[in-house]
A and B are shown apart, each in its own frame.
Chain A
């Protein structure tokens, strides 16, 4: 067959596409269980980090086992609530996908809450966050003291923010700023604002933005506000 003939070109490209497609789908199917395990462990790790646990993960010989054990030890209860603050039964909190929930009408949304018990006996409430950064989704977990006002810790992650700029939200130094901040001012929900140019350390409602990451910082601020808003009734009911 002549190499320049149309038939050859058609045959060549069809065979190439079939081989490549087969190869890639094979790789994808074979590797999926490993990838899913990684994603699950990462989620547990993010949850633990929001209460300052799982700090030795980098030195753990088996990451999955270490994180799994730590998670079972710290997180004593997982529950799902709706926007009215009532419990929803029959839904596994760990598999709730916030992206799906936020697309539903407000009344039908399922919001997960993770209850953690720390070594000093205190109880923390960990709430998942999901929002939009500059290039893609950003997400995280924020943990509150049992007054449902003071932030105990936070951890953030992102899909594709710019390294060194927006991606700095995943940096521990940035996340540490949230400790001790308050989401209510005079029992009115104000959330935490991310301020460009430096927030005063005395201001309990704002933190420093990431330099060079204005849109990511803004997205983070909106994320915290929008996500915590849905829990207001839960906070009220749980306090009493």
Chain B
């Protein structure tokens, strides 16, 4: 008797949806409202936003794959602890490697290492997806959610650095001569470097997203 193995192409429509969904319709920040804390804290400048986005993508993808591989052995009563251990060790490992081989990046990241561990998106994906799915779809799911989170971070970081400091990636965009202190007419908006402005920008993003994606709007 031959056993029929059901195989699915690696990038089937169903699998691709795992990546694209969290970027728009199921975005962790704007739709699920997860990971807001780190989105406020690190988006003052573009560079840390990008570094944070890349680190979260790496950690959530790896954690998803590892959890998925172990999913049949993890006792359900301590599954949260197991997930935490996986995430924490991954983050520490990433941090140690960066400190040894990419010291400058690691200096940028220093504060955020703790924030990655506490990022509820990662736990949420492990709990909701990786525990019940195979490694490959879990990897895609992690990748999608990481990107969905990262995109919002980069957008917020872009506007906050541009309007709050007049620079992008620490390069001056708005010329010095425009500033009032140099006899011009322009002044940086100090509100943009404070955390509340990140919430307001996220709010605006949610508004735009909802007016474009009608199915996100709840029925009364």
- Cβ contacts under 8 Å, A38 to chain B: 99-100, 103
Inter-chain contact count A-B, CB under 8 Å? 75
Known: A12-B75, A35-B100, A164-B165. A23 touches B48 (CB 8 A): no
**Residues of chain B from 90 to 127 with CB closer than 8 A to chain A in the complex:** 92-93, 96-97, 99-101, 103, 108, 110-111
Q: B96 near A27 (CB under 8 angstroms)?
A: yes
- Cβ contacts under 8 Å, A163 to chain B: 42, 44-45, 48, 108, 111
Q: B100 near A164 (CB under 8 angstroms)?
A: no
Interface centre among A9, A135, A160, A163 (most CB of B within 10 A): A163
- Cβ contacts under 8 Å, A165 to chain B: 44, 193
Distance of A135 Cα from B74 Cα, bound (Å)? 37
A42: CB under 8 A from chain B?
yes
- Chain B residues within CB distance 8 Å of chain A: 41-42, 44-45, 48, 73-78, 81-82, 85, 89, 92-93, 96-97, 99-101, 103, 108, 110-111, 160-161, 164-165, 190, 193-194
Q: A9 near B78 (CB under 8 angstroms)?
A: yes
Q: How many residues does chain A have at the interface if contact means C-beta atoms less than 8 Å apart? A: 27
Partner of B99, one of A4, A35, A160: A35
Known: A34-B101, A212-B193. A27 touches B93 (CB 8 A): yes
Known: A3-B75, A160-B110, A164-B164. A212 touches B99 (CB 8 A): no
**Min C-beta distance of A227 to chain B, whole Å:** 22
A8: CB under 8 A from chain B?
yes
- Return the chain A residue nearest B160 by Cβ: A164
- Chain A residues within CB distance 8 Å of chain B: 3-4, 8-9, 12-13, 16-17, 20, 23-24, 27-28, 31, 34-35, 38, 42, 135, 159-160, 162-165, 211-212
- Cβ contacts under 8 Å, A211 to chain B: 190, 193
Distance of A52 Cα from B78 Cα, bound (Å)? 55
Distance of A28 Cα from B96 Cα, bound (Å)? 7
**Min C-beta distance of A159 to chain B, whole Å:** 6
Known: A12-B75, A23-B93, A164-B193. A42 touches B103 (CB 8 A): yes
Known: A164-B44, A164-B193, A212-B190. A17 touches B101 (CB 8 A): no
